[in-house]
Structure 1
Amino acid sequence: MINSPYQKYQQAQLQTASPGQLLLMLYDGAIRFIRAGIKGIEEINHEKANTNLCKAQAVINELIAALNHDYPISATLYQVYEYMLHQLINANLKKNIIPAEEVISHLTELRGAWDTAIKSLNHNVESIE
């Protein structure tokens, strides 16, 4: 049950977002959770680190589930996402921020590429109309 106005806003945002916006939101969420996990490691708060790194893994699993295997790039993205999952598990088990920071770097780069592609696609669609 949604109680707060912020939760209602978030729900509405999710329900009205385009597929491209949802993809970017997944990337943003994963990055946010990894940063919180890193902070947990730095604070020696193992529960915080574990909870947030596991949430980031769940988001990456959603990215894997969303792959459209009709396109050859999906196989490459699948391998990249699997590598990221491995690095997050490693960071969580060893409480080492370096693998988590590497994943943030990859996610940030991929998010930027998707953002550019989505904007280009939207621009092209607007030009046709």
Structure 2
Amino acid sequence: MLQNAAQTYQSNQVTTATPAELTLMLYNGALKFIKQVKIALEEKDIIKAHEGSLKIQDILYELMSTLNSDYEISKEFARLYEYMLQRTIEANIRKDVEILLEVEDLFIQFRDTWKEAMLLAKRQG
């Protein structure tokens, strides 16, 4: 029962979110999965680590697919997302936490910058 309520809440949150909020959710989701992968690697749970890595990759694909190529900055984002994707794949293949930490740091920077941009946009709007 509680699980259903949580799923309904989460579903409603996604369907009512603005594109900016959805992007923030993707960043936060990636950070959550990175944490899970790090724990799985510590516990030598290779399958769980692999599954989490695939979820991170899916998020990066989603972020890349939503970029608006009309803006020059989108090309920079695309390059960074592609780099993060390659590093995530490499971390998964090697089961390397250090590489994952690099990707995590980039996601934190993206998330924090995005949150700040959302706040600035709210103040100006």
**Shared fold (TM-score, shorter chain, > 0.5):** yes
Q: Once the two structures are superposed, what CA deviation does each residue of 1:15-49 show, in whole Å capped at 9, x if it has no partner?
A: 11111111100000011111111111111100010
Structure 1 unaligned runs (5+)?
Answer: none
Give the aligned partner of residue 72 of structure 1.
72
* 1:26 corresponding residue in structure 2: 26
Query: SS at 2:69's partner residue?
Result: coil
Q: Name the counterpart of 2:120.
A: 120
4+ residue runs over 2 A deviation: none
Aligned residues: 123
SS of the residue aligned with 1:69?
coil
Return the offset for 1:74: 0.7
TM-score, normalised to structure 1, is 0.93
Q: Which runs of 5+ in 2 are unaligned?
A: none
2:83 maps to what in 1?
83
Cα root mean square deviation, aligned? 0.9
Q: Distance in 1 between matches of 2:86 and 2:43?
A: 23
TM-score, normalised with respect to structure 2 = 0.95
Counterparts of 2:8 and 2:64 in 1: how far apart (Å)? 27
1:52-71 equivalences under 5 Å are 52-71=52-71
Q: Where does residue 9 of structure 2 map in the other structure?
A: 9
- 1:109: which partner in 2? 109
Equivalent AA in structure 2 for residue 106 of structure 1? L
Q: How many Å apart are 1:61 and its aligned residue?
A: 0.6
Aligned-residue identity in percent:
36
